[in-house]
Structure 1
Amino acid sequence: DSMGRYRMVSMCPGDYEVEAINGDFKASRTITTQIGKTNELDLAVEGGGTLTVTLRDERNAAVEIPMTTKHFNLRDSEAIRLPDAAFGTAVFQGIKPGSYELMMMLPGYGRRVDRVVINEGENALTMSLAIGGRLEGRLRFDRTPPSVPAYYVKATRADENYKHYADPDQDGMFRFESLNLGEWTVEVMNWGTREALIVRQVKIQPGDNFFDESLDIKGTLVVSVIDGATGATPRYECDVRLLDSQGRRQSVQTNKDGLAAFAGLEEGDYTLRIDPEYTSSGLPTTKQIHISAGDNEQSVRLDMADSLKITHIQPGSQAANAGIVNGDLLLTYKGEPTASYQQLRALIDATKDGEVVPLTVQRDGKTIQLKVEQWQGRMLGVNIDKAKSTAKSR
C-alpha cells in the first residue's frame, strides 16, 4: 500500500524467494513458511532516482497522460519504462542514474522526444506541450474492397525521423492522432508491393484535418491458407507470395484467420507461392491461378510444419541444461508455437536476459514440459529441422 506494507495469504508451507521491485532496482530474501505461523519480512529497495514530469499545454492547463507504452515512456537501450500517472503529472521511480529519452505522443498534441538526465534522488521536470492536429481520412474505392486490409496509409514529416501508420477500415476510413503542426506527406500504400498509389502533401493545423481521395482497386485476390492435416486455420501466420508472368512479386502475411489479400491486380496469370519454411516437407507450395477483373478467391492447403526437430545439442548449452535431448520436437516456446526457425528467433529476441522460459517438447509421442534460462539474443544451442508432430493437443 502507500506505506509500503504488504500481505500474502494462503501460502503452502515451504521455501520461497520474496522480491521487492522498484523500477530498475530490487531486493530479495528467502523465507520458509509454516502452517499456522505468521512470518514477517521487511525488504528495503534502495538506489536510483525519481523523475516527476509535470505536463502543461500552451494555455497552462494540465495534460491527460494515457497509460500506454505508445503514448508516454522513458527509455534507454535496456528497457522501456511506464510511469505512475495522475492528471497532468507522471512519476518514474527507481531509475538508474544516466541519460534517457522521454517520449510523448499524447492525443491532441504533437509527438515529442526529449533527452533527460536522471540523478540519484528527486528529479523534476515541467514541460509545455504544443497543441497538435488530427488527420481524418477517407479512401473512396470504386467498389467494396476485400474484407482483409490490402492497403495502408503512411504519414511522414520531413523534419522528423518517425512515421505514422494506419489501416483503413472497410469503408476506407482512417485516422491519425497527435501530429505535429506543419507539412506532412501522406501516402496510400499497397500491402503486397509496398508501392505508393497516392502521394499527397497535407498541411496539419490545430484541431481536425481531412484527407479525401479516390482509388481504383482493380482486381483483388483473397487467399485462404488451410492446414492440410486438420482442415483448420493454421496456428501461425505465414507469408503468401504472388508472382506475375513478368516475375514481379508481391508478398502479404496471413492474419489470424489464415487470410491474405492482394489488390490493384491486372488481369492475367499468376503463381501463388508459400515458402518452404512453413511446410513439413521443406519444399515450397505453389499454385497456378488466373486473376480476372473484379474479385477473386483462392484457397491453399498446406502440409504445415508444426514443430522443430532437435538434431544436435551443444554440450553445456541452454538446451542441454534444460533437459532437451536429440530427437525432441520443440512444440512451443513461452507458450507460443515454434513451427519455423523465424518464429523461434523472434520469440528469443523478445525474451529478457535471465528469464526462465517454459518449453513444450514431444518425445517418443509424449508431451513434456521443460524450462530454460534464456540468454538474451542467443539461441538454445541446438541444430534444428522442420518436423510434423503427432501430439493431439498442445
Structure 2
Amino acid sequence: MGINSMLNNITLSEWNEDITNNLMPNIVILAVHIALGTIGNVLVILVYAFQMRGASEERYFIPILAFFDMIAVIYVGGYYIFQSCNQTIFSNNILCKTLVFFAGNTTYNSVFILFIIAIQRYMKVCRPRKQPMTISVKRTALFLALLMSLICALPLPFVFGTVPFHNIDFGIYGMRCGRLKDGHPLVRTVYSVVAGLFVFVIVTSLIVIYGRIIGTVFRRLQVNKKDLRSNEKRSETTDRGENNPVVDGFKGIEMVSITDKTIKHSTALQTRTNLTGHNIESAATKQRRTTNRRLTYKLTVMFLIITTVFLLSYIPKVVLLFLEGINEDFWETLSASQRPGVTFLYHIFILHNIVNPIVYAFFDIEFRQDAALVFKRLFIKPCICSSEIQL
C-alpha cells in the first residue's frame, strides 16, 4: 500500500515500514552483494595464504586488496541495509556519524590501494630497468594509503548526521542519516570542494597512468612483431647455409690433409657445440623473459579492468552526491517509484569490491588452478574421510 493511499493519521513507524517495503529489492541486492563479495574475497585470501605462498612480487597487493574489499563489502553493505530499514527513525546522531566515518574509511582504503597498484604497474611496465618496489617500499606505501584513507574520512562526521526527513503529503517529520542541511556553511563548502578535487585527482591520475601503460605495451608489442619477423627471416637464411659460421667453418675441409682435416673437423665440432649451447642458453633466457613479460602484461590488463570497473561504478555515486549537495531536499522529493532506482545507483559502487575475484579467476590461470586445489582440500577430502569411517 502506497503512501498516497494511507490515512492522514499515519504514524512514523508505518511510514518507515512503507519505505522499507519499497526498498526491499535494494535490501535483497545488498544481501547478495555481501554474500558474493565475502565468498569471493575469502577465496582469494585462502588461495594466497595456503596455495600461492611463493607468488611473484607482482601479485603482492592482490590478497591485501581482497582483504580490504571483503571488509568494505561486509561493512558498507550492512550499513546500507541498516539505513534502508531505518529511513525515518534514525535518531541516534552519534551512531550515524560513526557509521558514516567507517563506511568512508573502508571505501577509501580500496581506492588508495588501487592507486598504489597503478603506480606499481607503471614502474613495472614503463620503467622496467629501474629497481622495482621493494617489500619495505610496498609496506610503506600501504601504510600511507591507510593513513590517507583515515585523513579523508575524518571530515565525514562533520558533514553527515541525523537530519529531518519530511513527508510532504502528510506533514510528518522523521529522522534519517544523511548529509547535514544546517551545518557550518564554510565546512560544507570546503568539504564539497575538497571531495570534488579528490575525485578529480584520483580519476585523472588513474586515467593518465594507465594511458601511459597502454601506450608502452602497444609500442612493445609492435617491436616484438618486428623482431619476430626478423628472426623468421634470419632462420630461413641460416637453414639455407648462408652466413652460417658453422657451415663456413666446414668449407674447404676436403682441400687439406687428413691430419689438418681431423683437427679442423674437431675444432668445428667444438665451435658448433659452443654455439649450440650458447643458442640454447639464449633461447632459455629469451623464453624466460617472454614469460615474465606476458605475466606482466596480463596482470596489467587485469588491474586495468579492475580500475575501470571501479571508475564506472563510482560515477553514479559521485553524480548523486553532487545532486544531494545542491538540493537539500533531494531524497524527500523522490517518489515511491523513483526511490528504489536512485538508491540502487547510490549503492552500485559496492560492485567494485565484488568483481575483483571474478577478474582474477578469468585472467590468472595459476589462480584458477590453485583455487581448484583449495576447493578440493576444503570439500572433497572431508567427504572421502567420512565415507571411509562409515565403511
Same fold per TM (> 0.5)?
Answer: no
Greater relative CO (CA pairs within 8 A, separation 6+): 2
State TM-score, norm by structure 1.
0.21
Going by fraction, where is helix more abundant, 1 or 2? 2
Bigger proportion of residues as strand: 1
Larger radius of gyration: 2
Under a length normalisation based on structure 2, what TM-score does the superposition of the two structures give? 0.21
